[in-house]
Amino acid sequence: MKSLMMTKYGDAGTSLKVQEVPIPNFGKNQILIKTHSASFNPIDYKILRGDFKAMGKIQFPKGIGRDVSGIVEKVGKNVKNFKAGDKVYSRIAEDFVGTMAEYVISNDNDAALIPSNLSFDESASIPLAGLTSYQALVDVVKLSSGENILIHAGSGGVGTIAIQLAKHLGANVTSTTSTKNVKLVKDLGADKVIDYTKHSYLDESAKFDVVFDTLGGEHTLNAFKVLKDGGRVVSISGALDSITAKQFGLNKFVRLILAFQARKVTKTAAKMNAMYRFLFMSSSGAQLKKIAKLYESGSIKPVIDKTYDFKSSIQALEYLSTGRAKGKVIVKIVK
Ligand SMILES: NC(=O)c1ccc[n+]([C@@H]2O[C@H](COP(=O)([O-])OP(=O)(O)OC[C@H]3O[C@@H](n4cnc5c(N)ncnc54)[C@H](OP(=O)(O)O)[C@@H]3O)[C@@H](O)[C@H]2O)c1
């Protein structure tokens, strides 16, 4: 089968190649999916660039892509919840990366049926960003009706879903984006949009119950400047907290370094009696099933910026890595 492969560390233009590789073997609790569509996420170019080398080096060549939608081709002998012909989507486990290929394996409990009202392209836009938004807002901060939330980068892959989910949960949503995306973010339901090229969210008089930090860097610590005492900050790009460091199975020495780097954030949180959590999203078929219902009811609509065909998949990742995508970037594996 054809698969887009990472051949060395670097950028999309120089380090990716379509290669002929064997169809992967699947185990008794796994399904083999004939890929229809896939989508890229920032983690794909970050790993390619070598940002996560400290957590283990890549054995090249290696596939790329974590989001897939397609048709179940075959199932393992213990699989009860899927059969050949089912239309499924999945954020596949790290062991089975990548989805930019004609076939991909998923654990059966990482997959779910695609939302019945969506196409394969639309469904491929959901898994990683949808699960991240769901886990951040529902599992970590337990966002409730009437609360004020600040969601950064409302026009991004995660932000476009998080805004709609937060509105569905009954929250008052403020979101940041640049001038060209203000309308998009308003249309997604944000009650207030801050154009960061003209105003700083630090000038907001209102204080937030929750900040969803999708930007990291200075924005993680800044979250506490606009947070109510006792509020909650969940970050997907900021300092790793001790819970996540343990979840990664990092050794004590690395955890100590990370704790040192995160000390300002944890000290500030403690002073304000606030919660700080770093979230590293995880695959979950059960949650994809719940998320599918939100799309089927119309509470969340997919936002797709661009769709590329397989032979242009390298350009798709190049585009995403500009950091300017408005929603998701899709690759159609099957024409
Ligand atoms: N920890 C996890 O499990 C996890 C999971 C998913 C994602 N992430 C991380 O979360 C981040 C966001 O992911 P994503 O998929 O949403 O990325 P993305 O789709 O590439 O985000 C692009 C968007 O970010 C906006 N943006 C850039 N700088 C901004 C700023 N200073 N203020 C407000 N908006 C800004 C851009 O809007 P403009 O063009 O208008 O600036 C653009 O629409 C990435 O760093 C990703 O690696 C982590």
Same domain, 84 and 135: no
Same domain, 120 and 135: no
Give the span between the Cα atoms of 166 and 162, in whole angstroms. Answer: 6
Question: Does residue 285 lie within any of the structural domains?
Answer: no
Lowest pLDDT segment from 72-86, 158-172, 234-248 = 234-248
Token pair of 247, please?
Answer: 């979840």
Same domain, 51 and 7: yes
Token pair of 219, please?
Answer: 């924005």
Q: What pLDDT, on the 0 to 100 scale, is given for residue 171? A: 98
Same domain, 134 and 274: yes
Q: What pLDDT, on the 0 to 100 scale, is given for residue 256? A: 78
Q: What is the pLDDT of residues 20-61, one digit of tens each?
A: 999 999 999 999 999 999 999 999 999 999 998 877 889 999
Same domain, 118 and 133: no
Same domain, 97 and 170: no
214, 233, 318, best to mutate for ligand 1 pocket (most atoms within 8 Å of CB): 214
Helix (H, G, I), strand (E, B) or coil at 260: helix
Question: Does residue 144 lie within any of the structural domains?
Answer: yes
Rounded to the nearest whole angstrom, what is the distance from the C-alpha of residue 158 to the centroid of ligand 1?
Answer: 7
Question: Does residue 292 lie within any of the structural domains?
Answer: no
Question: Does residue 297 lie within any of the structural domains?
Answer: no
Question: Does residue 53 lie within any of the structural domains?
Answer: yes
Q: What is the pLDDT of residues 103-122, one digit of tens each?
A: 999 999 999 999 999 999 99
Question: For the chain, what is the domain count?
Answer: 2
Domain that holds residue 205: 129-278
Buried b (16+ CB within 10 A) or exposed e, 269-299: beebebbbbbbebebbbebbeebbebbeeee
Token pair of 87, please?
Answer: 């239309």
Same domain, 103 and 144: no
Q: What pLDDT, on the 0 to 100 scale, is given for residue 235? A: 96
Mean pLDDT (the chain) is 95
The separation between CA 277 and the C-alpha centre of its own chain, rounded to angstroms, equals 16
Neighbour-count burial of 310, counting CB atoms closer than 10 A to its CB (0-12 exposed, 13-18 middle, 19+ buried) = buried
Contact in structure between 174 and 190 (CB atoms under 8 Å): yes
What average pLDDT score do residues 175-183 get? 98
What average pLDDT score do residues 223-232 get? 97
Ligand 1 atom 15: residue of nearest CA: 157
Same domain, 162 and 259: yes
Give the span between the Cα atoms of 194 and 97, in whole angstroms. Answer: 36
Buried b (16+ CB within 10 A) or exposed e, 132-166: bbbbbbebbbebeeebbbbbbbbbbbbbbbbbbbb
Same domain, 84 and 166: no
Q: What pLDDT, on the 0 to 100 scale, is given for residue 210? A: 98
67, 160, 177, best to mutate for ligand 1 pocket (most atoms within 8 Å of CB): 177
158, 244, 281, best to mutate for ligand 1 pocket (most atoms within 8 Å of CB): 158
Question: Does residue 44 lie within any of the structural domains?
Answer: yes
Token pair of 279, please?
Answer: 């979230």
Give the span between the Cα atoms of 192 and 165, in whole angstroms. Answer: 16
Q: What CATH number is given to the structural domain containing 81?
A: 3.90.180.10
Q: Is the pLDDT of residue 240 over 90?
A: no
Same domain, 80 and 156: no
Lowest pLDDT segment from 63-72, 93-102, 262-271, 320-329 = 262-271
What average pLDDT score do residues 262-266 get? 90
Give the span between the Cα atoms of 221 and 34, in whole angstroms. Answer: 44
Q: Is the pLDDT of residue 295 over 90?
A: yes
Ligand 1 atom 39: residue of nearest CA: 324
What average pLDDT score do residues 280-301 get? 98
Lowest pLDDT segment from 28-42, 66-80, 139-153, 257-271 = 257-271
The count of other CB atoms within 10 Å of the CB of residue 125 is 28
DSSP 118: S
Question: Does residue 213 lie within any of the structural domains?
Answer: yes
Q: What pLDDT, on the 0 to 100 scale, is given for residue 228? A: 97
Contact in structure between 91 and 150 (CB atoms under 8 Å): no
Across-strand partners of 103? 34
Same domain, 118 and 137: no
Same domain, 245 and 223: yes
Q: What pLDDT, on the 0 to 100 scale, is given for residue 55? A: 76
Question: Does residue 288 lie within any of the structural domains?
Answer: no
Q: What CATH number is given to the structural domain containing 251?
A: 3.40.50.720
